Amino acid sequence: MPNVVYFSEEALLAGIRREDETAVAYLYKQHYPMVLHFVLSNNGTEEEAKDIYQEAVILFIEKIREETLELNCLIKTYLYSVCRRLWLKRLAFKSRFGGAVSESDTFVDVADDVVEYEEREASFTKMAEALVLVGEPCKTLLEDFYMQDLSMQEITEKFGYTNADNAKNQKYKCLLRLKKLFFNLYKSEVEHE
Amino acid sequence: MKELEAFKQIERFYNNQLNPEELAQFKLLLKSDPDFAEYYRQYQQLDGTLRFYSRRKALKEQLTSIHHELETSPESAPATDRKVITPFGDKQKRKIFWNQHYATIAVAASVAILTVFGTLMSIDVWRSMGKQQNARYTALRREVEKIKNSQRAIAKGISGVANSGAARPIPANFSGTGFAISSDGYLVTSYHVVKDADSVFIENQNGQRYKVKNIYRDQAHDLAILKIDDAGFSSFGSLPYSFKSDLSDLGERVYTLGFPREDMVFGEGSVSSKTGFEGDTTSYQISIPLNPGNSGGPLLDNQGNLIGVISGQQLDQQGASFAVKSAYLKQLVDQLSQDSLDSPIKLSKRNYLAGASRPEQLKKIKDYVFIIKVYNN
């Protein structure tokens, strides 16, 4: 349970913007039961509810942090709408129940947001694949640099390079390899379609 | 190596590590060298995607840990952790099963219900069809319309109790026709007209209204003899028609008077068979169009002899009506005179109608034909 209770939605949004972990946890826990209920009552499982809900929360938090979301309704309504949309897509994919759901709440139109999210999710998957393909030690090096925000000096020490320039050169080589793999994946994707 | 150098340069540009000279050179290169521009674009995309990738990955990990926390702390996830063991297996699974198949189950159930009731109904219809086959014969007593009843009740209600008074006749439940057979107050009608009667009144065209007390019934021949029991009644005088004991011939012109409605209605036809419904030898088949209310009416021939009493009609056949032969009426009267009555009924023997034209005949008869009003509760 979060120590801070967020009394208003504005406070919660502000907390999410400044990357407050308790705010995220609070948001996540507050609305999960609703989505769980929705998915369970529409031929879904708990596992699927979790997937759907996490996607929706990621979409929401990213858009809030990038300030690209103009929220005209309750957070709850927005999350429900996204989950509903995602779930409808999944049902249509399963194509067994024709994509009709029993509504348990009001919803707003989030079609564009979801499409955008899916495009980004695709590039996310590509990047993950490319990172696997680029292999060690490049993967760790790049992850350290981009995700852990380690400085070149720290990386030099960690990987045992003689100096920072060496490490930098290694990083560029890795980046180039990653670039090649990443754009190849993109290309093969286009050819597939 | 050109690519590597370019990347170095671009990254320095991004980190604002270029001095003004290099910056100018960089911008010039970006404009003049298409390869370099392409590297720049690729770097942008790659760098952006990598940063986005790392952010989202971090967020995903965070959410997963939050979810894990949610699942492990029992009080915050009441819906997910509570598994009740029941003799019917997992409730959650049953629920999902039901959600997935309820449409099919509903359809199956409705089909089953429809089939059951459809079968029952068709069996019922089949049976009632069989019944109809047997009951093609219908008796012609009139059931006074319920609408009329209720309308009168409403009218009565409007005009008020005091205004309506006791003199206004209450509409009868059933009505039929009857006619006098002797001057001292005996009448005949069909048995089915007075079948369940509580009280019976008779009324003729002139508005003479009498109460009937004794009723002698002959169910076998569908006949009933009525006796007027009314202080206002003295005698009918001599009746204009006589009673025929012989059989009438086929094709003989016959007519009847009756009360299928409040007014007297004349009907004419001929004797079409010497036997009645399904070969019944006690009655004639006649070709007079009849309606409910005609039952018990007199059937007379051209000479004004009474040859029968109207009784009923065949439903599925056009214009097949039936009348009980007068011989059986005579037989009934004889038996009654012997067994039940103090003084015998004297059937009129003289006929004042022979040779008269039809309208003349009717004028003479009409006072002796009554509407029989039957009340029961």
- The predicted pLDDT at position B309 comes to 92
Q: What's the mean pLDDT in B86-107?
A: 79
Nearest to A58 among B50, B53, B59 (CB): B59
Nearest to A123 among B49, B58, B70 (CB): B49
Q: Give A127's contacts in chain B (Cβ within 8 Å).
A: 49-50, 53
- The predicted pLDDT at position B96 comes to 78
**pLDDT tens across B348-370, in order?**
788 888 888 889 888 888 888 99
Give how far A42 is from chain B: nearest CA, Å: 7
The residue ranges of every structural domain in chain A are 9-109, 114-192
Name which of A80, A42, A38, A45 is nearest A59 in CA terms: A80
> Helix, strand or coil for residue B58?
helix
Q: Say which amino acid occupies B104.
A: T
Say if the ipTM goes beyond 0.90.
no
pLDDT by 10s per residue, chain A, length 193? 444 555 677 788 888 888 788 888 888 888 888 888 888 888 788 888 888 888 888 888 888 888 777 777 888 888 888 888 888 888 877 765 555 666 656 677 777 778 888 888 887 888 888 878 777 777 777 777 777 777 777 777 777 777 777 777 777 778 777 877 877 776 776 555 5
How far is A164 from A155, CA to CA, in rounded Å?
8
How far is A63 from A69, CA to CA, in rounded Å?
5
How far is A55 from A110, CA to CA, in rounded Å?
14
Is residue B161 over pLDDT 80? no
DSSP-H helix ranges across A43-109: 46-65, 75-94
Interface of chain A toward chain B, CB-CB under 8 angstroms: 1, 21, 24-25, 28-29, 32-33, 36-37, 40-43, 45-46, 50, 54, 57-58, 61-62, 97, 120, 123-124, 126-128, 131, 142-143, 146-147, 168-169, 172-173, 175-176, 178-179, 182-183
CB count in 10 Å sphere of residue B292: 19
- How do B305-314 and B242-243 pair as beta strands? parallel
Given a contact cutoff of 8 angstroms between Cβ atoms, the answer to whether A88 and A96 are in contact is: no
Find the helix packing angle between A46-65 and A9-17, rounded to 10°: 80
Q: CATH number for A114-192: choose from 3.60.9.10, 2.60.120.10, 1.10.10.10, 1.10.10.60.
A: 1.10.10.10
How far is A156 from A152, CA to CA, in rounded Å?
6
Is residue B145 over pLDDT 70? no
Contact between chains at B62 and A21 (C-beta distance less than 8 A):
yes
- The predicted pLDDT at position B374 comes to 87
Is residue B158 over pLDDT 70? no
The residues, any chain, with a CB within 8 Å of residue B299's CB and separated by 6 or more, are B254, B255, B256, B284, B286, B306, B307, B308, B309, B310, B323, B326
Is residue B97 over pLDDT 60? yes
